[in-house]
Amino acid sequence: MASEGVDGCAFLGDLQFLLATEDQLNEDLSLLCDLLSENSPSDQTTGGSRSMSTSDAMENATAALLPTKKIALTCIPIHHVSFAPSAAGHVAIEYPATGARNRFQYRQRQEIRLLRQQVDALKKTLAATMAYHHASNALQRRSVWKQAADQERLACKRAIAENTQLQHAIREQATFIDRMQKVIVKKPRIAAIATEAEAWKSCKLVAHRPLRIAAIHAIADRQLSRMQSALIQAGVFNELNDKFFARAQPVNDNQLVMTFVSHVRIPAPYRTVAASCWQALAEAQDPSLPDGASEECEMVDPNTVYRRFTQVVDSIPAHSNVIRKYYPDGHQDVIVWRNVLEDALAPHLSLGAIDNEWGWYCADSTAGWNHMRL
């Protein structure tokens, strides 16, 4: 079927010399209208004599068209052609009360005018549609950043409102705070202990099982909400080019935060790659576990895991307790991880070095159905 269509178009393409162009057809229609207007009885007084008969006018119009133009065919795909009936054939022609002895010429002239009006209207509609299409595409390209800006602005307003509320509460409780400070100064220093229900805000896990599970999910969900802001600050939000870099940012005189960014476009379905990565990260036993190290894996649910890793290096125990959670979504899959700083079931964490790490693994389909951004 494909070869027959190609041969047909090639055969018809050889007959291009038979088809008149759009400009030539417009000139022909204008010439025909001029001839009909000059020879129409409606343009003369009723008492005068006709300068030319109807048949003579039609013969002259035909003679004017035939020698100058060639008949042609164009190879047009059939699925692009509309066979809707002409609207001009359904328009009632109103004839003038006087003159217009040749009704055929008058009707033909009116139909030609209606067709030209329809062509002009269709051109205007096409231009408006194309302008709307371009505007929609431009708006769609800006919508990703607009959505991100709206979310960041909402988060900023929420933080400002929370800060204002806390300052107002401090002013209201100024007397109580002053009295408590005097009491604390007189007695041995006691560390402030947060309630178990809010311990997760400091990346701490309690021993009570229901609160422990709720804290794991709350820590992971909070980490997910911070992903967009982190991608914007790293310069890879909605980025199409590959980027790889690492940078160090000092927090104070004794602390340094290392940031590693890897942004790459991969020719593979994002959902398949993300599922494979999660399967490797959620393995109960890590095959790459070094000698002298131990690890415990707690499967909270199919998409959430909590791993506790311990290794002694130069007589100093090192601990890395990390929460990992998988978030499959309609257009992107995200894996977040965040280290736990204190665990009630592992009180020995305070005796060694504690790993404090967080990050995001994001795979989306914006690069195409068979490509992904990682």
Check residue 339 and give its pLDDT: 92
- 280 band by pLDDT with thresholds 50, 70 and 90: confident
Residue 183 in any domain: the answer is no
Averaged pLDDT of the chain? 74
> Residue 295 is part of a domain; what is its CATH number?
3.30.530
- 144 band by pLDDT with thresholds 50, 70 and 90: confident
Residue 145 in any domain: the answer is no
Which residue would you say has higher pLDDT here, 57 or 273? 273
Contact call for residues 104 and 54 (beta carbons, < 8 A): yes
94 and 232 share one domain: no
Residue 288 in any domain: the answer is yes
Residue 144 in any domain: the answer is no
The string of pLDDT tens digits covering residues 128-141 is 888 887 777 666 66
Last residue of a domain, one of 82, 113, 134: 134
223 and 353 share one domain: yes
The string of pLDDT tens digits covering residues 341-362 is 888 888 777 778 888 899 999 8
Which residue would you say has higher pLDDT here, 218 or 97? 218
> Where would I find the H helices in 202-354?
209-225, 227-234, 270-281
107 and 238 share one domain: no
304 and 212 share one domain: yes
Last residue of a domain, one of 134, 157, 183: 134
What total number of domains does the chain contain? Answer: 2
Residue 331 in any domain: the answer is yes
Task: Look at the chain and count its residues.
Answer: 374
Rounded to whole angstroms, how far apart are CA atoms 34 and 303? 79
Residue 172 in any domain: the answer is no
Percent of the chain residues topping a pLDDT of 70: 67
120 and 37 share one domain: yes
Check residue 43 and give its pLDDT: 43
Q: Which residues form the domain of 104?
A: 2-134
Residue 346 in any domain: the answer is yes
Residue 142 in any domain: the answer is no
> Where would I find the H helices in 76-102?
none
Contact call for residues 322 and 338 (beta carbons, < 8 A): yes
Among 98-107, 199-208, 298-307, the least confident range: 98-107
The answer on pLDDT for 312 being more than 80 is: yes
- Six-digit token pair at 104? 């055929």
129 and 210 share one domain: no
127 and 250 share one domain: no
101 and 223 share one domain: no
Among 168-182, 190-204, 206-220, the least confident range: 190-204
Last residue of a domain, one of 114, 134, 154: 134
Check residue 326 and give its pLDDT: 94
324 and 227 share one domain: yes
The string of pLDDT tens digits covering residues 77-136 is 433 334 344 444 444 556 555 555 567 777 888 888 899 899 999 999 998 888 887 777
